[in-house]
Structure 1
């Protein structure tokens, strides 16, 4: 069950089994209580416009507390009232689809080849997302059950060492300009949400500003091609395997097909995070969980195949799916150590300090073949 919280201080229930029905049921229970059961599990929807329009710190703190509670209890929130216009998102999806329709040899010429750069095209089967940190184990999983998706990875354009791998303008008109504009817009959303997180953790609102300002983020365009259902029946097969994300936040833009599932941290069962038009799915990543001394959850999630279209008596074909993920990261030289408001004498830091680069590059190097 997906329950949307606080759009104009109301609580509305979206039931996964009937995605187009809305029951105006009021809940008196708290988010912490509801997530303990699969039947009442909910991902809060937060109207972020109220934070941007707030005229006092107290008004901001109200929304900040909702966001922090969502990351504490679920690790995910739906965000509405953000600054990204639907037309902008639609154009990104259009240009992404046009890119993946290019000939395979054209895309292969832009192949991802360096975990430090983390830029370029990743063909179907090359990646295997997982929670494992062991390169040999990941290689075995990749050989047995690779992720059935392709992606294009884009970093900040002004990096002093690494260059993005752009297709020729004649092959993909408007692609570069569209993605660079979207990258900047997503960074602005990230900065604002991190301000709210700082307030919710009893820190100055600008606490994270100089730790995320270099835009060491990653924009990932994802294409899940149609696939026969028989190919998804093997042990461990999935569109994208269960995993957590690496950075601070992930901003996910879904199409209408669906397939994203979030693990209930208490029951360990997966629940659908169904697409809600106009929203961004935002989840906390490993580094934000580590920064918060595990006050926040970096929650397992996966992508499963939506219902297939039957093509004969024994076989079906899944529809194609697109998504856009913006992986928000701290500056690569930022030291990630437990925040002062998240530690105490009775709750000391669980992790030694490390840099963003040490963590993310290590995970990427093990993830790809």
Structure 2
């Protein structure tokens, strides 16, 4: 996919404070989000070593025997291990498919706000695998940087929309978020995909912005546009992939599109290819009204829709 559809945007001009540079960046972002709903960003300030440390520890976990992972097993929206067959993302857009060919370690917001009913649903403690003790400090450091970057991105989006920079961040004082470490094994592990089966089926994300640290591969990310159909998403070393979700699209009255995407099945000609993605889903404060809908009633319904079993 050409970079004029999904541009590579250096964030340093936006961070610099120069009015002309900031205006140019905001205009480019606005144009991109009207088409594919995706961006690649560089100069983002996230420590690249953290991703490597997370992948190393997570890989050790995913390679454990099933019996060692099962005590951490949860359903979609929980905090722990999503094993094979737990999730089918295409159901979120009403398309029945076989379960996605992946495993995930899933974490989420865990600092209570003091409202028991809200805390019990959205701010529970995370479940850290004891077998990989190095994972927790790396993930927690990464999450701090993701939260900061996501709010800075929302400030950029506020300006790109023509409003104040706090247009969205005034609703992220104590937000929910999710973080998935997605492991996509090769065919030598999962076998032959069923017809219509993907590593992740076609869908849009549900929240405000998603920040993705992904690896290049033949069985990787594809993005859909009305003009180009399904095309491989561009990848630039050191960049992060950013897309907007359903709540953001609704918040902008459809000016920006929720980026539809999928992850291809493991390729037949590279049966041992495995990839790992770090996916940070940013949302907003529980109970935020987004153009007439309750943000978290919407999120819960979507999470339930992709749960298998």
Normalising by structure 2, report the TM-score. 0.89
Partner SS, residue 109 of structure 1:
helix
The residue aligned with 1:77 is: 39
In structure 2, do the counterparts of structure 1 residues 193 and 100 end up closer, same or farther at CA, with 3 Å as the change threshold? same
1:45 aligns to 2:8 (yes or no): yes
The residue aligned with 1:154 is: 107
The residue aligned with 1:260 is: 221
The residue aligned with 2:18 is: 55
Normalising by structure 1, report the TM-score. 0.76
The residue aligned with 1:319 is: 273
Partner SS, residue 2 of structure 1:
coil
Partner SS, residue 208 of structure 1:
helix
CA deviations over 1:16-46 (Å, ceiling 9, x no partner): xxxxxxxxxxxxxxx5xxxxxxxxxx31110
CA distance in 1, matches of 2:14, 2:92: 37
1:73 Cα offset (Å)? 1.7
Partner SS, residue 41 of structure 2:
strand
The answer to whether the Cα contact below 8 Å between 1:257 and 1:306 also exists between their aligned partners in 2 is no
CA distance in 1, matches of 2:89, 2:76: 17
1:305 Cα offset (Å)? 3.3
The residue aligned with 1:367 is: 306
Partner SS, residue 283 of structure 1:
strand
In structure 2, do the counterparts of structure 1 residues 114 and 75 end up closer, same or farther at CA, with 3 Å as the change threshold? closer
The residue aligned with 1:328 is: 282
The answer to whether the Cα contact below 8 Å between 1:131 and 1:244 also exists between their aligned partners in 2 is no
Q: How many residues are matched?
A: 297
The residue aligned with 2:209 is: 249
In structure 2, do the counterparts of structure 1 residues 157 and 132 end up closer, same or farther at CA, with 3 Å as the change threshold? closer
1:1-369 alignment runs, 5 A limit: 1-3=1-3, 31=4, 42-56=5-19, 58-113=20-75, 115=77, 118-130=78-90, 132=92, 138=96, 141=97, 145-159=98-112, 160-161=119-120, 162-168=124-130, 171-228=131-188, 231-232=192-193, 234-258=194-218, 259-267=220-228, 269-305=229-265, 307-309=267-269, 317-337=271-291, 353-369=292-308
Unaligned 5+ residue runs, structure 2?
A: 113-118
Unaligned 5+ residue runs, structure 1?
A: 4-30, 32-41, 310-315, 338-352
Higher mean Cα deviation, 182-191 or 299-308?
299-308
1:82 Cα offset (Å)? 0.3
CA distance in 2, matches of 1:218, 1:367: 15
The answer to whether the Cα contact below 8 Å between 1:305 and 1:318 also exists between their aligned partners in 2 is no
1:106 Cα offset (Å)? 2.5
1:320 Cα offset (Å)? 1.1
In structure 2, do the counterparts of structure 1 residues 113 and 53 end up closer, same or farther at CA, with 3 Å as the change threshold? same
C-alpha RMSD of the superposition? 2.0
1:199 Cα offset (Å)? 0.8
Higher mean Cα deviation, 278-287 or 97-106?
97-106
Larger Rg: 1
Partner SS, residue 64 of structure 1:
helix
1:249 Cα offset (Å)? 1.0
